């Protein structure tokens, strides 16, 4: 999210207006378009005797007709140029063109400058490509140092040395990249599995999160005695719910100052960088189960994209569990903002007229891209279960294009996070250390309670059902 977007909360718009200008809705439109085109290409390119092959139970190897046009840099040992062979180069250029053209069109439709985006995007994409090349080195791969880490480091080095060049800002679309990538991820999470993971995920996300939020806020008010209740609330919500989105929604509900919101977001991004690197390494070091590790990541790391990237480091099962838990937790953004608005009106800033916030506040705060994630999951679950050769068609659609595009979008997002995170700018707001202590203590409580609940739900109560669907 750009500095302009985080500086203030946009005015309310009608739902129809939001659907044509909102970042969340355009993440749905972009992700939906990519999924539809990809599936249509596979469907039209299937063999003419497809139904007969399926009925006969023949082994079918179905490839994506456009698969060669989507790719990323490969592996290398000593010469980085080996990562960009002919096939990788064509795939990388194809991904660049598809993402660049699609997002430029979306920026124009949202009333932003497509020209400025087009001018800046090649540089951001080049940084993402560099991160992919670094992660492809054979020794680096052996230590599982994934592209997300390198993407963050590349961005952080630039931001904290020379500073992010102004002309890059239009292409530094962290949330837009992440949300679109998560809509694509929805097609990879079949509803049969989502339903199985959903119930234990609800206990992890909807029981622990409110406890951590309320406990951290009380700790900040009663023990640390933070002077600004709004700063306390924004940090508590940011840390306990899901980072930047929750901070922005809560800041609007409690009328937090711009500086307070910037501090919460800055700390969130900084802790996200640390946790997405340290937690997967810790989980692997102690030999923690992949499913349990994924649930722990999903319930604790603030940013949704960071959760997905950290889960991917552990494996596909961890990624699916982590993303599902985080999606369930994301639903609390609207509920949390509505609850904070009610509390602020009735307790912190009592209104003599007795005015109460409108119930539509939940809808205003609800992260709409979650609808795209669920819709993609439902549609592709139906295709998977009901079409002749559905599993082969869906696997070719995802494996041949959309999974690769999703990886690029996450990589672009983490380059953007790094470019936006300048540690020097946070120093003035950390004077006295109380905000940092609040965040650290709250996150520690979050880590402990989430791990305990994740173990109870995913490895004890629902263990058999989960192991059946995630062998």
DSSP 14: -
The three-class DSSP label of residue 48 is: coil
Domain count, the chain: 1
- Give the residue numbers spanning the domain of 329: 13-54+62-469
The pair of three-digit structure tokens given for residue 13, joined into one six-digit string: 């718009």
Q: Report yes or no on 439 lying in a domain.
A: yes
> Angle at the Cα of 236 (from 232 to 242), degrees rounded to 5?
145
| 76 beta partners | 137
Q: At what angle do helices 369-386 and 23-45 cross, to 10 degrees?
A: 20
Q: For residue 194, what pLDDT is reported?
A: 64
Question: pLDDT tens per residue, the chain (471 residues)?
Answer: 333 334 344 445 556 677 888 888 999 999 999 999 999 999 998 888 888 888 887 667 788 888 888 989 988 888 888 888 878 899 999 999 999 999 999 999 998 999 999 999 999 999 999 999 998 888 877 665 678 778 888 998 998 899 899 999 999 998 789 889 888 988 887 776 666 777 888 888 888 989 999 999 999 999 988 888 888 888 998 888 877 667 767 776 777 776 677 678 777 877 887 888 899 989 999 999 999 999 999 999 887 767 877 888 888 888 888 988 887 887 777 677 778 877 877 777 665 555 555 556 566 666 678 788 888 988 998 999 888 888 889 989 998 889 999 989 989 988 987 888 777 776 665 667 888 899 999 999 999 999 999 999 988 988 888 877 776
Give the residue carrying structure tokens 């700063």.
231
pTM: 0.73
The three-class DSSP label of residue 76 is: strand
Sign of CA dihedral 65, 68, 70, 74: positive
Q: For residue 326, what pLDDT is reported?
A: 85
Ramachandran region, residue 163 (left: φ > 0; alpha: ψ -120 to 50; beta: rest): left
Q: For residue 188, what pLDDT is reported?
A: 83
C-alpha to C-alpha distance for 129 and 151, rounded to whole angstroms: 9
Please say whether the beta carbons of 393 and 46 come within 8 A.
yes
Q: Report yes or no on 371 lying in a domain.
A: yes
Q: Report yes or no on 158 lying in a domain.
A: yes
Neighbours of 79 (CB within 10 A): 7
Q: At what angle do helices 304-314 and 147-159 cross, to 10 degrees?
A: 140
Q: Report yes or no on 342 lying in a domain.
A: yes
Q: Report yes or no on 232 lying in a domain.
A: yes
In 240-255, which positions are buried (b, 16+ CB within 10 angstroms) versus exposed (e)? Answer: bbbbbbbbbbbbbbbe
Please say whether the beta carbons of 178 and 408 come within 8 A.
no
Residue in 344, 405, 310 with CA at minimum distance from that of residue 91: 405
Please say whether the beta carbons of 189 and 323 come within 8 A.
yes
Q: Report yes or no on 395 lying in a domain.
A: yes
Residue in 141, 108, 103 with CA at minimum distance from that of residue 125: 103
C-alpha to C-alpha distance for 223 and 348, rounded to whole angstroms: 18
Q: Report yes or no on 381 lying in a domain.
A: yes
Q: Report yes or no on 8 lying in a domain.
A: no
């Amino acid at each position: 999210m750009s500095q302009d977007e985080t500086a203030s909360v946009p005015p309310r718009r009608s739902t129809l207006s939001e659907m044509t200008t909102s970042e969340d809705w355009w993440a749905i439109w972009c992700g939906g378009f990519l999924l539809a085109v990809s599936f249509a290409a596979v469907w039209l390119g299937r063999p003419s005797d497809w139904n007969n092959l399926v009925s006969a139970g023949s082994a079918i190897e179905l490839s994506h007709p456009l698969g060669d046009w989507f790719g990323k840099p490969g592996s290398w040992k000593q010469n980085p140029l080996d990562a960009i062979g002919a096939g990788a180069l064509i795939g990388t250029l194809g991904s660049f063109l598809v993402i660049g053209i699609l997002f430029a069109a979306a920026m124009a439709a949202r009333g932003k400058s497509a020209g400025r985006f087009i001018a800046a995007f090649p540089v951001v994409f080049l940084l993402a490509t560099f991160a992919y090349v670094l992660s492809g080195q054979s020794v680096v791969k052996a230590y599982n140092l994934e592209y997300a880490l390198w993407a963050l480091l590349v961005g952080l080095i630039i931001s904290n040395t020379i500073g992010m060049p102004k002309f890059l800002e239009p292409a530094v679309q962290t949330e837009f990249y992440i949300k679109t990538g998560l809509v694509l991820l929805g097609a990879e999470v079949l509803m049969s599995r989502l339903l199985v993971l959903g119930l234990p995920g609800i206990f992890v996300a909807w029981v622990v999160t409110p406890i951590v939020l309320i406990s951290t806020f009380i700790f900040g008010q009663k023990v640390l005695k933070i002077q600004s209740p709004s700063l306390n609330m924004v940090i508590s919500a940011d840390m306990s719910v899901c980072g930047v989105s929750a901070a922005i929604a809560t800041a609007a509900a409690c009328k937090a100052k711009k500086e307070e919101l910037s501090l919460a977001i800055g700390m969130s991004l900084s802790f996200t960088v640390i946790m997405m690197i340290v937690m997967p390494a810790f989980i692997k070091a102690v030999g923690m189960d992949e499913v349990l590790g994924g649930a722990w990541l999903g319930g604790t790391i603030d940013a949704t994209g960071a959760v997905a990237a950290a889960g991917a480091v552990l494996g596909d099962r961890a990624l699916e569990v982590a993303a599902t838990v985080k999606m369930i937790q994301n639903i609390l953004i609207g509920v949390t903002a509505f609850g904070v608005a009610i509390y602020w009106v009735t307790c912190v800033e009592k209104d003599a007229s007795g005015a109460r916030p409108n119930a539509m506040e939940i809808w205003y705060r609800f992260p709409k891209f979650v609808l795209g994630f669920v819709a993609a999951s439902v549609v592709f679950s139906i295709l998977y279960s009901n079409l002749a050769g559905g599993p082969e068609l869906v696997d070719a659609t995802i494996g041949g294009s959309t999974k690769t595009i999703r990886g690029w979008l996450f990589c672009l997002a983490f380059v953007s996070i790094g470019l936006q995170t300048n540690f020097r700018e946070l120093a003035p707001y950390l004077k006295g250390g109380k905000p940092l202590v609040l965040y650290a203590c709250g996150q520690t409580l979050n880590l402990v309670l989430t791990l305990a609940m994740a173990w109870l739900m995913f490895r004890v109560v629902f263990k058999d059902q989960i192991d059946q669907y995630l062998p």
